[in-house]
Amino acid sequence: MNLVDRFLNYVKFDTQSDELTNMTPSTPGQMVFAQYLRDELTKMGLSDITLDDNGYLMATLPANTGGDIPTVGFIAHLDTSPDMSGRHVNPRIVSKYDGGDIVLNAAEGIVLSPAGFPELKDYVGQDLIVTDGNTLLGADDKAGIAEIVTAVDYLMQHPEIKHGKIRIAFNPDEEIGQGAHKFDVEHFGADWAYTMDGGAVGELEYENFNAAVARVTFNGRNVHPGYAKHKMINSMRIANQFVIMLPRWETPEHTEDYEGFYHLVSMEGTVEKSVLTYIIRDHDRDRFERRKKELEHLTRKINHEFPDCCSIEIKDQYYNMREKIEPVMHVVDYARQAMKLAGVEPKVQPIRGGTDGAQLSFKGLPCPNIFAGGLNFHGRYEFVPVPSMEKATKVIVEIARLVANGKK
């Protein structure tokens, strides 16, 4: 099976994750897909294939040459985003894209247009895989899975390419921030790894946000509004006061590159009780800590005006993997050189988000992120250029070859 056929097959598995189930994997479709992949890897002839009860699938491509060669891993995630349905994905290929509008769903008037998505112009003349407008595509991260499996298959069919031991892994629940939680790094046994989970061709990332979630609770007092003077405490109004105390320009819609932010992701309230949920993001660890302290400071200010009204709970989610990657920068150098050999110009940039690689790096497995090729993830306008997937596959092959040769 070739790369495109694999991908078109994989996206038809419904693997949307769900943070509310409190299970691993969070949805049964992920295990169904993992079992399918286990059978595929078995038929290919890989060794040390394991699939645990939590949906973590691992396998080995044995070395075909001697010497003290590091074991390198390649990782992708099974699940698709909860942001949009991944059920009954019906992809199609737009051959030799002409640069115009792509009608995804004529009946619903859903169009993928360069007017709204100017990056389309970068892929004129290429074959694009798109949705039918009703679901996301699932290139995040089934493109990564297809690329890893195809690259391993290619190495098996071309023994003249010398490589060391290669470990591959496919894990559940990345999209809900739990992909690395039960990843057995010791069992995986790689010296370092790469997540094939980036976006556009050329992306190479070893920096990400430090991240935390904050839950701010406001307790009020409800009294009949006709008799409420000096008695009622409206928790929603106090919550609103808290919101406007934060700097308005330090939000996602006003920041880019290395700029951090506070992001209000939900608000629920009645007169008696209101809850705000924020995510806090910053690449710089000191600024990240100051952001958390600022929320605590504002909580104290609210309580000074409305005693014992406000409480806050802050929980760290993940940290910037840069501090774990910088001491072993050769892992980035291998990826950078492999991209050049694959005809790709590396675009080293920070991730304005998180990745399983961040958590894995702090668990002892340095793990930069490499492009998988898709764009506009998590929605109906998601697409992936076929040449981008082909180049990602070649990057994997080149990394394996470079590491065996000890060159970077």
Catalytic residues: 79, 174
Q: Is 250 exposed, middle or buried (0-12, 13-18, 19+ CB in 10 A)?
A: middle
Neighbours of 387 (CB within 10 A): 16
Q: What is the DSSP track for 142-199?
A: HHHHHHHHHHHHHHHH-TTS----EEEEEES-GGGT-TTTT--HHHH--SEEEEEEE-
Whether the CB-CB separation of 333 and 166 falls below 8 Å is answered with: no
Whether the CB-CB separation of 390 and 3 falls below 8 Å is answered with: yes
Question: Which one, of 290, 284, 400, lies nearest residue 342 by Cα?
Answer: 400
Q: Which helix (H) or strand (E) holds 266?
A: strand 261-269
Please report where in the chains the tokens 């979630």 appear, as a residue: 213
Distance CA 362, CA 287 (A): 20
Strand partners of residue 194: 74
Strands 128-130 and 47-51: unpaired
Question: Which one, of 185, 183, 242, lies nearest residue 217 by Cα?
Answer: 242
Please report where in the chains the tokens 């074991």 appear, as a residue: 71
Q: In the structure encoding, which two tokens stand for residue 72, read together?
A: 């390198």
Q: What is the DSSP track for 330-347?
A: HHHHHHHHHHHHTT---E
Distance CA 248, CA 236 (A): 19
Whether the CB-CB separation of 334 and 233 falls below 8 Å is answered with: no
